[in-house]
Structure 1
Amino acid sequence: MNFSNFIKQVSILVLLISLISCKGEPKEECDIPENITYNEHIASIIEIQCFKCHASDVYKEKASRVKIFDYQSLKKMGESGQLVGSITHAQGYIAMPYRKETKIDSCTIETIKAWVNLGMQE
């Protein structure tokens, strides 16, 4: 084997290793509490992310009567799957926030999903 072929083979090997080890951008590390409650964690997320349209004084005009401004209403949405379906933009649900290709950040989504999976404690 001559030196030129050796360099080509090493270059191909390095390229293959790089492609195999590169699986896209690194996944964001989320600091999700173990015991998530509505009052301590979720209410503030909903206020920041959703109240522009879903606050008690605006939802009738902007959000098609979908109430999520209190614990009981949000819990019902969590139980039905609508909450997680909407914030993850799952097929069959109206994507929230209702702006084309706009999602809340992935750690916030994971926190809400964890709250739902843990039984939606108040």
Structure 2
Amino acid sequence: MNHLTWRLALLCLLNLGLLAGCASDNEEDLNPQPNACDTSAVTFSGTVNAILQNNGCKNCHAASAGSGGVVLDSYAEVKKRADDGRLLGAISHASGYAPMPLGGTKLSDCDIAKVKKWIDNGAPNN
């Protein structure tokens, strides 16, 4: 083999090595999601109540304010709104529901997923 043939053969082997190195890449490896939403341990007291508090829901929907006739300052009141569909409908901005928070930014997809998980689990007082 001449000198040029060796160079071409070496170049082909290097290219094959590079291609093989990419063969095991997958979406999870290329785009890791370190902050994935964890809905495995959702509770009323530790999760849902905190979401309502942190997003200002309780500022307008306390017994003293009762904006729109909706009170969210106790488990019983939140459960009532979870059971009638208004809680999830409002926070997910579903058609036919008043989008909440009123005039504010929609809750994060993760917070909505956590509230939905709690409701899907029967909205327990935990």
Task: State the TM bucket, normalised to the shorter chain.
Answer: 0.5 to 0.7
Would you say 1:112 and 2:119 are equivalent positions? no
- CA distance in structure 1 between the aligned counterparts of 2:122 and 2:116, rounded to whole angstroms: 10
- The TM-score, its normalising length taken from structure 1, stands at 0.67
- CA distance in structure 1 between the aligned counterparts of 2:124 and 2:68, rounded to whole angstroms: 26
Q: Give the aligned residue type for 1:110.
A: A
Deviation at 1:69, TM superposition (A): 1.1
- CA distance in structure 2 between the aligned counterparts of 1:51 and 1:88, rounded to whole angstroms: 17
Rg larger for: 2
**Structure 1 runs (4+) greater than 6 angstroms displaced:** none
Show structure 1 runs of 5+ residues with no match: 1-20
* Structure 1 residue aligned with 2:81: 77
Deviation at 1:104, TM superposition (A): 0.8
Show structure 2 runs of 5+ residues with no match: 1-26
Q: Give the aligned residue type for 1:51.
A: K
* Structure 1 residue aligned with 2:98: 94
| Count of aligned pairs | 93
Q: Is the 8 A contact 1:36 1:121 kept in 2?
A: no
- CA distance in structure 2 between the aligned counterparts of 1:48 and 1:71, rounded to whole angstroms: 16
Alpha-carbon RMSD across the aligned residues, in angstroms, is: 2.1
Would you say 1:30 and 2:37 are equivalent positions? yes
- The TM-score, its normalising length taken from structure 2, stands at 0.65
